Structure 1
Amino acid sequence: MTTTCRLCGSQDLVSVVDLGATPPCERFLTAEQLDEPEPTYPLHLRFCVDCHLAQLPPLITPEETFTEYAYFSSYSTSWVEHARRFVAGAVERLGLGPDAFVVEVASNDGYLLRHVVERGIRCLGIEPAANVGAVARERGVPTLTAFLTPQTGAQVRAEHGPADLVVANNVYAHVPDVIGFTEGLRALVADDGWVVIEVQHLLTLMAGNQFDTIYHEHFQYYTVDSARRALASGGLALVDVERLPTHGGSIRLWARPAEAVAADGPAPSARMAAVLDEEKAAGLHEPAGYAGFAERVAKVRRDLLRFLIEAAEQGRTVVGYGAPGKGNTLLNFCGVRPDLLPYTVDRNPYKHGRYTPGARIPILPPERIAADRPDYVLVLPWNLRDELVAELSYVREWGGRLVFPIPELEVVS
Structure 2
Amino acid sequence: MSSQTTSEFAVNYTVEETLADCICPNCGHQGLSLFYQVDRVPVHSCLMLSTPEDALDFPTGDVLLGFCESCGFITNTKFDSHWSAYAPNYEDQQSFSPTFNKFALDLANRLIEKYDLRNKDIVEIGCSKGDFLLLLCELGNNRGVGIDPSVVPGRVESEAANRVKFIQEYYSEKHAEYVGDFICCRHTLEHIQPTFEFIQTVRRSIGDRTHIPVFFEIPDTIRVLKDLAFEDIYYEHCSYFTPGSLARLFRSCGFEITELYRDYGDQYLMIEALPIEMPSETVHPFEETLDELKRDVEHFKAEINNKLGRWKQDLEQWQAEGKRVVVWGSGSKCVAFLTTLDTIDKIQYVVDINPHRHGKFIPGVGKQIMSPEFLKEYQPDRVIVMNAIYCDEIQKMLDGMGVKTEVVPL
Alignment TM-score, normalising by the size of structure 1:
0.84
Pair 1:163-2:180 in alignment: yes
Comparing both structures, which one devotes a greater share of its residues to helix? Answer: 1
Matched residues in 2 for 1:147 and 1:103: separation? 14
Give percent identity, aligned residues only.
Answer: 21
8 A Cα contact 2:145 2:166, kept in partner: yes
8 A Cα contact 1:191 1:260, kept in partner: no
CA 1:388–1:291: 2 relative to 1, 3 Å: same
Q: Structure 2: 5+ residue runs without aligned partners? A: 1-18
Correspondence for 1:318: 325
CA 1:261–1:101: 2 relative to 1, 3 Å: farther
Correspondence for 2:292: 283
Give runs of aligned pairs for residues 399-410 of structure 1, distance below 5 A.
399-405=404-410
Secondary structure of the residue that 2:309 maps to in structure 1?
Answer: helix
Once the two structures are TM-superposed, the CA of residue 244 in structure 1 deviates from its matched residue by 0.9
CA 1:16–1:76: 2 relative to 1, 3 Å: farther
Q: Structure 1: 5+ residue runs without aligned partners? A: 157-161, 406-413
Instruction: Give the total of aligned pairs.
Output: 383
8 A Cα contact 2:214 2:274, kept in partner: yes
Residue in structure 2 matching 1:327, options 331, 334, 344: 334
Give runs of aligned pairs for residues 76-115 of structure 1, distance below 5 A.
76-98=97-119, 100-115=120-135
Correspondence for 2:12: none
Report Cα offsets for 1:222-261 as digits up to 9, x if no partner. Answer: 1122112222343222222122135x52221011102288
Once the two structures are TM-superposed, the CA of residue 149 in structure 1 deviates from its matched residue by 1.6
Matched residues in 2 for 1:47 and 1:210: separation? 17
Correspondence for 2:261: 242
Report Cα offsets for 1:17-73 as digits up to 9, x if no partner. Answer: 212320122244322634874321111211011221111136332873312311113
Correspondence for 1:229: 248
CA 1:314–1:35: 2 relative to 1, 3 Å: closer
Matched residues in 2 for 1:387 and 1:112: separation? 21
User: Comparing 298-307 with 62-71, which one deviates more in the overlay?
Assistant: 62-71
Correspondence for 1:176: 193
- The two structures, once aligned, show a CA RMSD in angstroms of 2.7
8 A Cα contact 2:55 2:364, kept in partner: no
Pair 1:257-2:278 in alignment: no
Report Cα offsets for 1:94-114 as digits up to 9, x if no partner. Answer: 22332x221111112222122
8 A Cα contact 1:209 1:297, kept in partner: yes
Correspondence for 2:388: 382
Correspondence for 2:168: 145
Matched residues in 1 for 2:249 and 2:203: separation? 12
Give runs of aligned pairs for residues 5-404 of structure 1, distance below 5 A.
5-24=24-43, 25-31=45-51, 33-34=53-54, 37-57=57-77, 59-61=79-81, 64-68=84-88, 69-98=90-119, 100-118=120-138, 119-130=140-151, 132-136=152-156, 140=161, 141-152=164-175, 154-156=176-178, 162-189=179-206, 190-246=209-265, 249-259=267-277, 272-273=284-285, 275-276=286-287, 279-280=288-289, 283-284=292-293, 286=294, 288-338=295-345, 340-394=346-400, 397=402, 399-404=404-409
Once the two structures are TM-superposed, the CA of residue 333 in structure 1 deviates from its matched residue by 0.7
Greater relative contact order, per chain length (Cα 8 Å cut-off, separation 6+): 2
Secondary structure of the residue that 1:392 maps to in structure 2?
Answer: helix
8 A Cα contact 1:74 1:109, kept in partner: no
Matched residues in 2 for 1:175 and 1:361: separation? 28
Once the two structures are TM-superposed, the CA of residue 77 in structure 1 deviates from its matched residue by 2.6
CA 1:166–1:35: 2 relative to 1, 3 Å: closer
Secondary structure of the residue that 2:71 maps to in structure 1?
Answer: coil
Correspondence for 1:159: none
The code of the aligned residue for 1:104 comes to E
The code of the aligned residue for 2:254 comes to G
